[in-house]
Amino acid sequence: MSDPDPHDPVETVMIVDDDVIVRTAIAEYLRTCGFRVIEAVHAEEAQTVLQSDAMRVDIVLSAVAMRQGGDGFELLRWVHEHRPDVEVVLAGTPGRAAHAAAELCDSGPTLARPYDPQLVLDRIKRMLVARKPRNADG
Of 72 and 117, nearer to other proteins (C-beta) is 117
What does the H/E/C string look like for the chain? CCCCCCCCCCCEEEEECCCHHHHHHHHHHHHHCCCEEEEECCHHHHHHHHHCCCCCCCEEEEECCCCCCCCHHHHHHHHHHHCCCCEEEEECCHHHHHHHHHHHHHCCCCCCCCCCHHHHHHHHHHHHHHHCCCCCCC
Judged by CB under 8 A, the residue of 39, 58, 71, 87 near other proteins is 39
- Build a one-symbol-per-residue string for 88-117: x at contacts with other proteins by CB under 8 A, - elsewhere: --------------------------xxx-
The answer to the question of residue 86 lying near other proteins (CB under 8 A) is no
The answer to the question of residue 127 lying near other proteins (CB under 8 A) is yes
Tell me, by CB under 8 A, how many residues bind other proteins. 27
Question: Contact positions toward other proteins, by CB under 8 A?
Answer: 1, 20-21, 24, 27-28, 32, 36, 38-41, 45, 48-49, 52, 54-55, 114-116, 119, 123, 126-127, 130-131
